[in-house]
Structure 1
Amino acid sequence: MADLDTVVLYRAPTTVADAEEIAAWLRARLDSRVEIRVRERFLDRVRGDDTTDLAEAFAAARIHSPYERETGTSMLGVVRYEERTLTEPERGGGVLYDGLAVQRALNRRLPAEEASLSTLHVALLDRTLATWGDHDGRWHKRVHVLGQPTLVSVPGLYEAPAKPEAYYQEQQKHALVSGDAPPREVLESEVDGDFLVQNDPRTTETLKGYVLQAAHYVETGEAFCDVDTCRLSNPHRQPGVVEAQLRDPEFCERHATRYG
């Protein structure tokens, strides 16, 4: 637990997430003594003039297989790809990274005067992150990785929580008929249900609760709320995300006294 003075939220310009709107919502809920700042893309600030070092860190955090614990590569072509993605983020995508490894690499690059937990850095990222599950021996995509800095994966919001069961049933049906899975856009248009899709207009509203979780974790040491309908909960399925982040009430009774 820490005495939080400042939350610095970083934009993700290649996504639809509106950092200013999230920051305004956060100001209305955190103690007035906590300053909320918005800055440009986090990776631009920490990569410095030479992108090779940070590109190598991202290459080392690449996940090869959902069931393979070992990560990373030092292949020159991959490092060059990561360098290009750092300077031209719109060219990236389709890569899964070890979220904790990325977090450690970025933590080392925080300015010394802002490295303590009194200043929390929350980076909206256009990268897809995962953490390893010792309980089942596989990688799990995550919406965010709490800590310093907290990493909030915008594509993870669409990919990490499981879709409604009908989505996977439709996917299997297409595979049986055609021998291959249909494009994601086809499934999203054919399946009814509450789930978020890429560039969903509800993205900013949904991310507000995840950003608040970052501050809540630093201040209280509590990672998630056990009440499924609270914005501080961590649903593993898309309908649960919609219920927690987009439906009233915003908070459970206990957290409403603090943030409501």
Structure 2
Amino acid sequence: MVDHVRLYRAPTTVADATEIAAWLRPRVDATVEVCDRFLDRYRDGELARELAETRVVSPYERETGNTMLGIVRYEEQALDHPERAGGVIYDGFAVQELLERRLPDEERSLDRLHVPLLDRVLGTWGADGRWHKRVNVLGPLAPVSVPGLYEAPAKPETYYREKGKHTLVSGDTPPREVLENEVEGAFLVEDDPRTTEALEGYVLQAIHYLETGEAFCEAERCRLFDAHRQEALIEAQLREPEFCSTHADRYG
């Protein structure tokens, strides 16, 4: 059983860790604590270099990492000024491992769950031979990628149709903001006011996995569902009912 959940803030994002914790407390039999940014709390002299080692260098290459001096300096600056970082995908399992190594021994046990909300994009290598962006990586330390919420699930077909129309007419890819306005509300965008509510389910997935060994729910209208498209994410995380009949008994 999970007795203690420690949720770490991502202050450069709109994700509200305090609000997520308040949603969790009546639903789980555990103490839920909110802490400051994980990357500040457990930073050491090697963190920037180790993050550089987890960078995805190509969508179709399994090998990761670039530890050239300039890249390591970029990671140092991203730790100091996270609001300036972006445009990089990191190996989610490698990030999970390097963060977990930094926990004190007394914090590493199966009855304690650490959930760092991150302002980094995480990915996992797929059986199709390419990297896929993810929202969360499950385990005793379960990083949750805030930008992954916007980028990992595929956008609706209308988005790509509008993108194709603009490209056909102008010859250039239209600015993201133009497309977002034309398909307003159909998917989550950066700094979306629905971010915190959507992330509640992804943090609960981490608790559920550690307690039951069940990674996700197969029911599309359940907050434990692993959505691969934005429409499915909105249905699972932002629409009623919150849970399928099975998980409503446990969390509803």
Measured against the shorter chain, the TM-score band is over 0.9
1:62 is matched with which residue?
A: 55
* Unmatched segments (≥5 aa) in structure 1: none
Check the 8 A contact 2:8/2:35 in 1, yes or no: yes
- Counterpart of 1:46, as a letter, is Y
1:19 pairs with one of 17, 20, 36: 17
CA distance in 2, matches of 1:73, 1:192: 37
For 2:57 and 2:165, how far apart are their aligned partners in 1?
A: 28
1:192 Cα offset (Å): 4.8
Indicate which of 35, 41, 51 corresponds to 1:39: 35
Once the two structures are TM-superposed, the CA of residue 216 in structure 1 deviates from its matched residue by 0.3
Structure 1 residues 13-55: Cα deviation after superposition (integer angstroms, max 9, x where no partner): 0000000010011001002xx111000001111113x3xx111
* Equivalent of residue 138 in structure 2, options 146, 160, 163: 146
Higher mean displacement: 36-45 or 169-178: 169-178
| Separation in structure 1 between the aligned mates of residue 117 and residue 146 of structure 2, nearest angstrom | 7
Q: Secondary structure at the match of 2:233?
A: helix
Alignment root-mean-square deviation, CA: 1.0
1:120-172 per-position Cα deviation (integer Å, ceiling 9, x unaligned)? 000100000100002x1110000111113101000000000011001011112
Check whether the contact 1:103–1:151 (CA below 8 A) recurs between aligned residues. yes
SS at match of 2:143: strand
Q: Paired residue for 1:73?
A: 66
Instruction: Establish whether residue 85 from structure 1 lines up as the match of residue 78 from structure 2.
Output: yes
CA distance in 2, matches of 1:218, 1:230: 18
Structure 1 segment 93-112 matched on structure 2, within 5 A = 93-112=86-105
Q: Is residue 2:181 matched to residue 1:189?
A: yes
In 1, the alpha carbon distance for the partners of 2:183 and 2:232 equals 17
- May I ask how many residue pairs the two structures share in their alignment? 252
In the superposition, the TM-score normalised over structure 2's length comes to 0.98
Question: Match of 2:190?
Answer: 198
Q: 1:239 aligns with which of 227, 231, 243?
A: 231
Matching of residue 156 in structure 1 with residue 152 in structure 2: no
Counterpart CA distance in 1 for 2:61 and 2:43 is 28
Aligned equivalents of 2:77 and 2:172: distance in 1?
32
